Structure 1
Amino acid sequence: MKRLFLYFIFFFLFFNIEGKANEISPIKQNFEEVFNVGKMLSHDDKFTLYFRSREKAVLAKGKEFNYITDYPQDLYILFNDTGKISPVITYDWFPKKVQELGSSYKLPVFPEDYAYYLLSDNETLILISGIKSIRSNFKFNLKDNKLEKLPSDNKYNLFVSSLLKDCGYKNVNATYKCSYYKPLISKNLIN
């Protein structure tokens, strides 16, 4: 027992272990290191993507009964230089478009149900489902406002369930490079 205690003291003193736990929210600090929660700055700092709550609740069809989603969130873009705000992905059109693109999920899909990865071109968003039963992932072009279904044999690989890994050559003269992207998620997806 004394040896165990001495090992613990030795380990603690020489390696200076710090606890990061917080009794109120033990994982919040680490969680926000891995995800952009609520808002995300573009790679070139020209715009910010963020979730904004709707002013009205939405009545949606559930598996066994209809349910009211209180204040669902839509994705907006804020242009940092002008202050102009525009909706990007909203509940007004998103669920219908997901059904058109052949989603096997029959219930309404909210924009907040996805993790959004902004690629380094600052034009492409990769939408990865944050809900297990939704198996459709999408690609959204910010310039054209076009949503496409991401093929199952896509070149993007999920890494550690939170990072997107994209590897390849930019051109013939470039070296092989991997980029890792932190997703933007809604605070409602966490709960």
Structure 2
Amino acid sequence: MKENKTAALSLRLSADLMQLLDERASAEHLTRTDVTAAALRAYLGVSSPSPQGDKLDRVIELLETIAGAAPQRKAAAPQRQTVPDKPEMQRTTTPPNAPQRTTSDPRFQAVDSEADALIVSLTQQGAGLADIAAQLNAQGFRSATGGEWSRSKLRDYRHKLRDAGLI
């Protein structure tokens, strides 16, 4: 049988006694069980360390064990090994009716050379993203995913055009 074995006890108390129990437990930062067990020990004349001291002693022992097992100060983190830079993979995409382009982003999907020219032209004229997207949609151009142009899709696509050196 384990040394710290416990058993459950159901108990009916009057509302005023239960309130006093809760107040005492809260004031001493204990549980109802701790207060009730201490009261029973006192009533039965069984000497045992206070539940609060018992728990505190166990926590202190645990912390001392942890502190003794752990190094006093952290060792320096291992240095990351650097890998020599590899040249970026260049991907060439060739959509229909578009000149061949080279970009460092392998996800770049050129849409249409006419759409690209329109985007570049309107960007150089200072048009906003919403205006350019509206023009592209009005002229029937679709994004790389086949959907209508939105401000966010156009913003991302313009960044890719900049990376490709077209803007």
TM class, shorter-chain normalised?
under 0.3
Higher relative contact order (CA 8 A, sep 6+): 1
Greater per-residue strand proportion: 1
Q: Which has the higher helix share?
A: 2
